[in-house]
Amino acid sequence: MTETSAVTLEVARGVAWLTLNRPERRNAVGPEMARALHDAAVRCADDPDVRCVVLTGAGPFFCVGGDVDLFARVGDRAEETVGALARTFHAGVLRLATMAKPLVTAVNGPAAGAGLSLAILGDIVLAARSAQFAVAYSAIGLTPDGGASWLLPRLVGLRRAQEMMLTNRRVGAEEAAAIGLVTRTVPDDALAAETRGAAEALAQGAVGALAACRRLLHDGAIAGLAGQLDAEAAAIAAASGSAEGREGVAAFIGKRRPAFPGAPDT
């Protein structure tokens, strides 16, 4: 396990577990955490032994967002300080969003502000039933970061995104699942096991194909139909000629479970 004061990273059975690790500060994002998250994201993206990444929080909170105490302490340097923090944080968010492997977020408790952005970043988002979600920025005179203004309307629609962003209404876990903000809810005491099962199943899968699916879904949010059809044709052609594609087809024909290259032993 690799550990910093702000983020821990542990790899097991092809899954990298990233844990936001400032429980005494409710996992608030400051400069150290932003740097550590970016470094961990780069390591996960570049490590061929990592086939799936899990992001969760230590303690009873997932992440309450930016370190507002820091914003207050820097006084007249707030614009410079917060801008630098946001850019570092965004570099980590972008690496997690664009890496060639799936991301699972395990939302173990309240997620607000930048924490909401991290929570909904996953391809699979599992929320403990005690979790709550809030945009929170405008309540203290700030604006969204971490990709919230891009992700939120794509997940829940513009009208719900407007309400959440402008009123800062808290959304409980069950409602979050009903409106598509999270994939599903699980009992609090089952979150770790459910997350492990989902992540290890993804790690056993055709990670190259999953990476292409991630890319197509992200690009499709802004692409025209003709361009997206071209991208899909190129992706499926490349997948069919890959070792994963050949093994998947052979396993289907042979009525057996595929053994995708690089997958950890079961």
Q: What is the pLDDT of residue 223?
A: 82
Question: What is the CATH number that goes with domain 2-203?
Answer: 3.90.226.10
pLDDT (tens digit per residue) in 21-49:
999 999 999 999 999 999 999 999 999 99
Question: Would you place residue 4 in the very low, low, confident or very high pLDDT band (cuts 50, 70, 90)?
Answer: low
Question: For the residues 122-135, what does the mean pLDDT come to?
Answer: 98
Share of the chain above pLDDT 90, in %: 79
Residue 3 has pLDDT above 70, yes or no: no
Handedness of CA 146, 150, 153, 155 (dihedral sign): negative
105, 119 Cβ separation under 8 angstroms: yes
| pLDDT at position 109 | 98
Q: Where are the domains of the chain?
A: 2-203, 207-253
The pLDDT tens digits for 246-256 are 898 898 889 99
% of the chain exceeding 70 in pLDDT: 98
Predicted local confidence at residue 236, as pLDDT: 86
Indicate the pLDDT class of residue 266, thresholds 50, 70 and 90.
low
CA dist., res. 103 & res. 15, Å (int): 10
- Residue 110 in tokens: 């309240």
Q: What is the per-residue pLDDT for 5?
A: 83
Question: Residue 197 contacts by C-beta under 8 Å, 6 or more apart in sequence?
Answer: none
DSSP string, 37-96: HHHHHHHHHH-TT--EEEEEESTT-SB--B-HHHHHHTGGGHHHHHHHHHHHHHHHHHHH
The per-residue pLDDT for range 76-110, each reduced to its tens digit, is: 898 999 999 999 999 999 999 999 999 999 999 99
What pLDDT shows up at residue 74?
87
Range 67-77 average pLDDT:
90
Is pLDDT at 139 greater than 70 in this prediction? yes
